[in-house]
Amino acid sequence: MKTVRFFEQSGERQYARAQRIWQVLTGYVMFKQNMSEKGAGLITYADLAELLGYDRRAGVTLGGPLGYIHRFCEQNDLPHLNAVVVSQETGIASWDEMFPDRARHLQEQKRVKKFDWFTVRTPSAGTFKKYPAA
């Protein structure tokens, strides 16, 4: 009897993709946060897409799942984990509604990097479904 379940690569719901992204980002932040180089702990949309097994161009489709993560963090008084995902060109998040100004975005990045994400259980896809992006 097989009990292993795999994530879908195509046709995946946004909230299910948010769960996968959460897992990637928490590990990424926790293992990159102690590096002293500028930009350590930040990841581009394209790099995130690649880590998820997609073509780098799929980075433009990650705003929706990152919105679920943003809303979940906001409603649960957590640093906005999605703040570490940035545009390669600008170095900030591409979705203006998440971080209306650069100062707020940089503040959230610092909060994310200081937080111990391994103390928070990964939210289920069903939990993310309750926090849809606006």
Is it the case that residue 107 has pLDDT exceeding 70?
yes
Q: Which pLDDT belongs to residue 3?
A: 63
In angstroms, the first-to-last Cα distance of the chain is: 41
Q: What is the pLDDT of residue 40?
A: 65
pLDDT band at 36 (very low <50, low <70, confident <90, very high): very low
* Residue in the structure block whose two tokens are 């046709």: 11
Q: For residues 91 and 10, which has the higher predicted lDDT (pLDDT)?
A: 91
pTM confidence score: 0.84
- For residue range 47-101, list pLDDT tens digits in order: 999 999 889 999 988 999 999 999 999 999 999 999 999 988 877 776 666 677 7
Asked if 43 contacts 70 with a C-beta cutoff of 8 angstroms, the reply is no
- DSSP-derived 3-state class of residue 83: helix
Confidence (pLDDT) at 38: 54
E strands within 45-117?
A: 85-86
φ, ψ dihedrals at 12, nearest 5°: -75, 135
